[in-house]
């Protein structure tokens, strides 16, 4: 019984600590992860609807971006999405990308 209580307490603290770490992520990192996840979801939608990688890249070329780094990053995310064999729905790709981006940013610390 004592080990169960200790295990539950340890897991509770771990969950609480991970929630605190996620809050430490800066606004700019959150924005970058959210933005990247939206690009990945859009690329997955294009891929599943039959648009070629060339067509998806052409759409990104005419799109306006807020920052200079965004265009090349969007191209990279799109290319990686097209190279993947994944058939996940765009919403699942968006969620997965965001979670992995946040995990990566926290691991950098």
pLDDT(5) > 70: no
**Kind plus residue range of the DSSP H or E element containing 43:** helix 27-48
* % of the chain with per-residue pLDDT over 90: 75
Token pair of 104 as six digits: 């990566």
**Residue 67: closest CA among 28, 20, 106:** 28
Q: Rounded mean pLDDT of 69-75?
A: 96
Q: Rounded mean pLDDT of 16-21?
A: 50
Q: What does pTM read for this prediction?
A: 0.76
Exposed / middle / buried, residue 90 (Cβ in 10 Å: 0-12, 13-18, 19+): buried
| Contact in structure between 105 and 37 (CB atoms under 8 Å) | no
């Amino acid at each position: 019984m004592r080990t169960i209580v200790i295990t539950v307490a340890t897991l509770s603290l771990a969950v609480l600590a991970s929630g605190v770490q996620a809050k430490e992520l800066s606004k700019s990192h959150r924005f970058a992860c959210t933005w990247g996840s939206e690009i990945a979801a859009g690329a997955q939608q294009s891929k599943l609807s039959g648009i070629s990688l060339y067509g998806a890249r052409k759409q990104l070329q005419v799109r306006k971006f807020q920052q200079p780094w965004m265009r090349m990053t969007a191209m990279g995310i799109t290319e990686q999405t097209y190279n993947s064999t994944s058939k996940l729905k765009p919403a699942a790709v968006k969620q997965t990308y965001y979670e992995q981006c946040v995990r990566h940013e926290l691991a950098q610390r």
